[in-house]
Every structure is written in structure tokens, then in C-alpha cells.
Amino acid sequence: MSDINKDTNESMTPIETENVSSGVEISMDDIDIQTPEQLTTGQKMKYLFMYPLVTSIIKWSFAVLGLVGLILFIVASVSQDASAALTKGLQRPVTDFFTKIYNAIPISMMEIFIFAAILGILAYLVFIIVRTCQVKGGFRKGGLWMQFFYTLVAVASVFCLLFSMCYGVALNNKPFSSISTYSDTEVTQLEFNETLVYLVDKINNVLARDIDETKSIFFTKDGASKYAQSGRSTDVIAEKLSEAFDNAAEEIPELKGSAVVPKELLLVDLYSLMQIGSIYSPFTGEVNVNTYYTEVAIPVQIAKSMAKQRGFTNDDDASFIAFLVCTQYTDDPYINYAGYFDAYINVGTAVYNQDGGKDLHLYIANALKESAKREVVNYVKNLDSLYGITSDLNFDSSGEKTSTDSYYDLAKLLLVDLRNKVDTGSVTLDDVEPVSYGRYCNYIVNFYNSDTQFQNDVETTYYEYHPDELQTTTPDTTTTDESGLLDTSDNSDSLVA
């Protein structure tokens, strides 16, 4: 009898052997895959999804992590309150942790990880293709591609979890306007155009103050500004910006975060072609900078990335926070200049693109200091012709003490001249009611509107150059018109003609 059983077992197929003794696992090497009809559906599924067992468990664990990341992202996406809570309790601590680790590594680890992942997947794909050509049997080939699919799922799951924890949960975060006193509401076209004059005044004042006092802003022969006379100063700028963010966090706690060490992007030629000035890596907390960009762009690019690191992932919010930190929370002249310069480029582009904006933009640029004009031409390609022609709108800075060399005053006088032109119809505005020029521009215009000191300075400066128009009025008969300038009710000449 034993001999009969022995002969029977030897004549049975591997699958039939497993049916006799369920303790034997299916093995690719033991199965004749050339006859897949021998396998039941359950055996096929077991082989495809759970062989080898340990590796499959690890890969399915990665899939579960990816599912957790997806759930976090969905929860944050459907509820702004949940996004704000996850940003504060998860995104910022995790990002700070990664930032402190990767600050110690001098090269861009974001790019290294991306290259490694791509090369690893491609190498594994080549291996699978070669093995597919070597093995026989359709089911065996399918098993190989199932293993490759496992690998893709594992990589995607890790990516999903890290993205959600470090960035995704903050995508629906409350806007900066909701946690600060700064507004992004709609503005009038007059306010929008006046803001460009305001930014010209700020640029002029920073440069004039630097010439008179600090002498820390340098210009090359081609018109580009530099933080120092030689070499790049990215690390110093980043250190100053970290201090500025700490200063800002005393008033707005949400801006508190870790200091960053900016790193040079490895593929700078590629990023330059794509017009990318910097990349914030949420997976490593790194701020990676394109060092081919002109240096005036560096402070805002770094500050913008630092704002995203702190959970303000909306580009308009991050851009305005960068402007605010660069101009209001540091006394470094170059960083101040860079902040106003970036805002001038953005608002100026929008002014230029509106109906009749070309003449208006050139008219306002009349008041811009020559060194800043050359910087604009150097920064924005093809603008050399723009600043080489004359606007149809003329700026007449008349008055006994008028001196167009006084860059402390020039833009203020031009602002009054602009208002006069709007009043007399020389400049026609299409939109009288408030409209949106994009959230970032709205932020800047509302910032200008809130600067009451500047409005007072405009009035003081105008009357300094036009003393014959200044008349004494009593407090009871003095009002303020919509432009923010004094309007006397005793028939005296108004600031606005």
C-alpha cells in the first residue's frame, strides 16, 4: 500500500500535491506556469498578491501609509478649519524637523531624491523587461509585472504621505488676510495706479537713503544691483530674512518657523529656461535657489519659500508675506529695496497691460531713480525699448522749488499730478467701481491705502513746492476728500486741480 501511495504522489502535479497537503505554499519555481489551467482562481490571486509573503506585507504597508496621506489630504481639502488645524499641528512641526536635518547638508537633497527615484524605477523597469523576455508562460510574466506594480504603489504611497504631511494639508489653509490686519479686497483703478507711484517713491527713498547713509547697495555696469561688491550673498540674505520673520512673528505668530539655509539648484540651466527662480521642497523643507537669477530677485524668492514653509502655500499669500517681511520687518536696505522692486515689477506689469496702460506706465516711470530704471531693464528683458521712448503723458513738476533730482520728493509730486490728470480727464479710467487685480496686487494696493503717513507726506511735500497754494484753514472747515488729500471749503486752491 505504501508503494502505491508513493507512486500516486509522484504522479500528481504540484497543485494536486498542495491540495493533499495544504501546508505547502505555492512557489513560482514549483509550478508549471505553462499550464495555468491547473491553478484555481484563488491560487492565482494568492500567488499574484501575496508572493513572496514578507515582501508583499511590506509593500501593502506602504499602500496603507499612502491611504493615510490621502485621507489627511481629503479632510483638509473639505474643511478650512481642519486644514488650519493640521497645518499648525502637523505640517509645521514636520517641516521644521526636516528643515533642521537637511540644513546640515550643503547640496539640494530634493533633486538627489528625485533623480534617485527616477533612476531606480527605470532600472527596475529594464530588469522586469529583460526577465519578461527570459521566462516562459504568460502567468509567470504577469507575476513579474505585478511585482513592478507593487513597487510603483510603494513609491507613490510614500510620496502621497510625505506630500500630505508637509504641504498638502496646508493647501486649503485660511488666507493670510484672515489671521492678520492686511486685506486683499477689491480696489479701484485709481488706487491701483496710485500704488505704482507709491512703490516708485519707496524704491527712490531706499536708494536715496542708502546713498546718504549706509552705502550698502552696489550696481554693476550692466545695471544689476548686488548686496555686496563681490560674490553672492545668499547665505547672509537668508540669515537676515530669518531674523525678519522672527520679528514679524512677534505680531503674527503664524509666521514663526525654522531658519533656512538656501541651496543652489543643481540643474540651473534647465530651471533658467523654465524661468524658475527658486523651488521650495516640502519633502525636505529646503529652499533651493536659481543662482543664475539676478540678485535682486533672491531676497523675495527666499522669503516666499519661507512663507510656504510656514504653511502659507497660496502663491499670492506667500508673495505678499515676502513683500511684508522684506519691507517692514528688517532695516537692511538691500532687502527693503528688493521687496519694493518685486512689487513694482508685478504691479507695473498689470498697469502696463490695462487699456492705455503703456503711456501711464511710462509716465509713472519718469519718477523712478535712474539706477532703478536700469535694474528694471536688466531684470525684465525687452524693456530697454520701453524705457527709451517718451510717454504721451507729461509730468510737469512745476513750482519755485521744484527739482526733479530730489528723489525723496519726485514720486509724491507725480502722485498729485496724476490725480490732477484724472480730475481733468487727461487720464481716463475704465473702472470706477472696485475690481480685483489678483489677490497679490490687491494686497499691495490695500497696503498702500493703509499708509496714512505717506498720504500726509504727499500733502506736505506738495505744499513745500507750492507754498502759494497753502492757506490757513480752521479745523471746522477742513475735510478730507476721497483721495486722502486736504480739501479746504473756503474756496482756496485745492491740492487736486
**Mean pLDDT (the chain, rounded):** 78
Q: At what angle do helices 333-353 and 298-309 cross, to 10 degrees?
A: 90
Q: Which amino acid is at 29?
A: D
What integer pLDDT is reported at residue 37 of this predicted model? 56
Closest CA to 326 of 347, 344, 348: 344
Q: b/e map of 70-108 (b: 16 or more CB within 10 Å)?
A: bebbebbeeeeebbbebbbebbbebbbebbeebbeeeeb
What count of residues does the chain have? 497
Q: What is the pLDDT of residues 77-87, one digit of tens each?
A: 999 999 999 99
- pLDDT at residue 161 tops 60: yes
Closest CA to 438 of 264, 265, 192, 206: 192
> Do the Cβ atoms of 334 and 372 come closer than 8 Å?
no
Model confidence at 49, pLDDT cuts 50, 70, 90, reads low
What integer pLDDT is reported at residue 264 of this predicted model? 86
Closest CA to 76 of 318, 308, 285, 311: 311
Report how far residue 113's alpha carbon sits from residue 166's, in angstroms, rounded to the nearest whole number.
Answer: 16
What integer pLDDT is reported at residue 468 of this predicted model? 74
- Type and span of the H or E element at 155: helix 138-166
> Is cis: bond before 467, omega within 30 of 0?
no
- pLDDT at residue 139 tops 70: no
Which of 23-37, 279-293, 460-474 is most confident?
279-293
Which of 292-301, 376-385, 399-408 is most confident?
292-301
Report how far residue 195's alpha carbon sits from residue 432's, in angstroms, rounded to the nearest whole number.
Answer: 16
Q: What is the mean pLDDT of residues 313-323?
A: 95
Report how far residue 140's alpha carbon sits from residue 144's, in angstroms, rounded to the nearest whole number.
Answer: 7
Q: What is the pLDDT of residues 187-208, one digit of tens each?
A: 999 999 999 999 999 999 999 8
CB count in 10 Å sphere of residue 126: 10
Q: What share of the chain is helix, strand, coil (3-state, %, to 5)?
A: 60, 5, 35
What integer pLDDT is reported at residue 231 of this predicted model? 60
Q: What is the mean pLDDT of residues 354-383?
A: 80
Quick check: helix, strand or coil at residue 150? helix
Nearest-Å Rg of the Cα atoms of the chain is 33
What integer pLDDT is reported at residue 485 of this predicted model? 39
What integer pLDDT is reported at residue 7 of this predicted model? 46
Distances in Å between the alpha carbon of 57 and those of 52, 120, 157?
A: 9, 21, 14
CB count in 10 Å sphere of residue 142: 16
Report how far residue 46's alpha carbon sits from residue 66's, in angstroms, rounded to the nearest whole number.
Answer: 23
Quick check: helix, strand or coil at residue 172? coil
Report how far residue 199's alpha carbon sits from residue 82's, in angstroms, rounded to the nearest whole number.
Answer: 37
Bigger pLDDT: 135 vs 26: 135
What integer pLDDT is reported at residue 52 of this predicted model? 59
Q: What is the mean pLDDT of residues 372-377?
A: 85
Model confidence at 173, pLDDT cuts 50, 70, 90, reads very high
- Residue 19 in grid coordinates: 491540495
Q: What is the mean pLDDT of residues 51-60?
A: 64
Q: What is the mean pLDDT of residues 320-330?
A: 96
DSSP state of 467: G
- pLDDT at residue 495 tops 70: no
- pLDDT at residue 115 tops 70: yes
Q: What percentage of the chain exceeds 90 in pLDDT? A: 32
What integer pLDDT is reported at residue 85 of this predicted model? 93
What integer pLDDT is reported at residue 470 of this predicted model? 60
What is the arrangement of strands in the sheet containing 263-264, beginning at the earlier edge strand?
263-264, 286-289, 278-281
Report how far residue 213's alpha carbon sits from residue 331's, in angstroms, rounded to the nearest whole number.
Answer: 12
Q: What percentage of the chain exceeds 70 in pLDDT? A: 75
What integer pLDDT is reported at residue 229 of this predicted model? 64
> Do the Cβ atoms of 463 and 469 come closer than 8 Å?
yes
Q: What is the pLDDT of residues 281-310, one digit of tens each?
A: 888 888 888 877 788 989 999 999 999 999
